[in-house]
Amino acid sequence: MTDTDIALLLADAADGVEIGIAPTQAVIRGGRRRRARRWAVAAGAALALAGTTGAVALTGLPGGDGGRVTPAVTHPPVHVSLTEPHRTQLASGVEDGKDWQVYVDVWDAPRNKEEAEAQLMAMSGYKGEWPASVRTAADLVGKTTYFVQRSYQGDESVVIENSLPKGSAQLSTDMDAGAIGLTPGSKSPQRLVIGRIAKTAQEVTCDWKDGTGTVLQRVTGQLSNGDFKQGIRTAEGSQDRWFVCLAPKRTAYQQARVTGPSW
């Protein structure tokens, strides 16, 4: 210890001490005790930080790493698609000057109850997408959920929804299809057909009540005027392919079937 150190320690101890010969050894011992307490406090702070953030390095501490920081230990982040769906536009068009679109929103399967609870909260605030068959968040674990949205003049509404075990898919000529009105309202003729088929399906035929039909092939992209050609499309996040076809005016949906090869 230098003379300067001793002088500082003497000044620290001088308050409240009667004038006289300074007890140097006692002051030094007191300084050592105070310094030891400061190291103990610093070490305690380090342990507290390590317990809350998982990473700490106090430069200058005895035995320290000179500023090296250990990566924090955190919970794995929830994948973005668990709290936000994959959205794919399946069809669009203009009829009588009014725009319409069909979308499918696919939510990835949660792996545990914690992820399912986060997803259910996200669904509750996203375009009215709430799975009707779900009673608790745990019902979503291991299931992919999809919602088909019809938009007519900007008015969006869920028209089809379901939750399926992750990895389940249509096979061969399997099909899940139905028809709704193009315009909102129960009295609208069922002209808008929406279906889910196996990824191996090459062709679908929509039959109309007037005896005519529309044949759909696999398509991608848009037409030159910006419309979507009626056809079979891939939807992000879905194990199946999807199709949308619209019946001509003055007729309606009768049935849909896989008519081409499936491989």
Q: 102 and 84, same structural domain?
A: yes
For the cut 60, the answer to whether the pLDDT of residue 213 exceeds it is yes
For the cut 70, the answer to whether the pLDDT of residue 80 exceeds it is no
| Average pLDDT of the chain to the nearest whole number | 76
Domain assignment of residue 2, yes or no:
yes
CA separation (Å) from 11 to 4, 6, 23, 75, 128? 11, 9, 12, 51, 72
Which pLDDT does position 6 carry in this prediction?
A: 60
Higher pLDDT, 129 or 46: 129
Which pLDDT does position 247 carry in this prediction?
A: 96
Query: How far apart (Å, rounded) are the C-alpha atoms in residues 25 and 27?
Result: 5
- Helix/strand/coil for 91: strand
Last-in-domain residue among 74, 101, 124: 74
* Mean pLDDT to the nearest integer, 112-126: 92
Domain assignment of residue 53, yes or no:
yes
Please answer whether residues 9 and 33 qualify as being in contact, where contact means their C-beta atoms are separated by less than 8 angstroms: no
Q: 193 and 68, same structural domain?
A: no
Q: 84 and 62, same structural domain?
A: no
Last-in-domain residue among 74, 103, 119: 74
Q: 46 and 145, same structural domain?
A: no
Please answer whether residues 262 and 227 qualify as being in contact, where contact means their C-beta atoms are separated by less than 8 angstroms: no
- Helix/strand/coil for 258: strand
Q: 110 and 33, same structural domain?
A: no
Question: Over pLDDT 70: what percentage of the chain?
Answer: 65
Which pLDDT does position 236 carry in this prediction?
A: 94
Which pLDDT does position 226 carry in this prediction?
A: 59
- Give the structural domain span for 238: 80-258
Which pLDDT does position 127 carry in this prediction?
A: 79
Q: 59 and 91, same structural domain?
A: no
Which pLDDT does position 51 carry in this prediction?
A: 38
Q: 224 and 154, same structural domain?
A: yes
The DSSP output letter for 61 is S
Which pLDDT does position 64 carry in this prediction?
A: 44
Domain assignment of residue 211, yes or no:
yes
Tokens of 223: 């037409």
- DSSP assignments along 163-195, one per residue: EEETT----TT-EEEEEEESSSSTTS-EEEEEE
Higher pLDDT, 127 or 161: 161
Q: 144 and 37, same structural domain?
A: no
Which pLDDT does position 37 carry in this prediction?
A: 42
* Mean pLDDT to the nearest integer, 144-154: 94
Last-in-domain residue among 59, 74, 89: 74
* Mean pLDDT to the nearest integer, 135-140: 91
For the cut 60, the answer to whether the pLDDT of residue 250 exceeds it is yes
* Model pTM score: 0.66
234 pLDDT band, cuts 50/70/90, is: very high
What is the arrangement of strands in the sheet containing 155-165, beginning at the earlier edge strand? 86-95, 98-107, 143-152, 155-165
Q: 141 and 125, same structural domain?
A: yes
The DSSP output letter for 82 is G
pLDDT in tens, 193-211: 999 999 999 999 999 999 9
Number of folded domains that form the chain: 2
Domain assignment of residue 38, yes or no:
yes
Domain assignment of residue 219, yes or no:
yes
Q: 169 and 212, same structural domain?
A: yes
Q: 121 and 68, same structural domain?
A: no
Domain assignment of residue 263, yes or no:
no
Which pLDDT does position 223 carry in this prediction?
A: 58
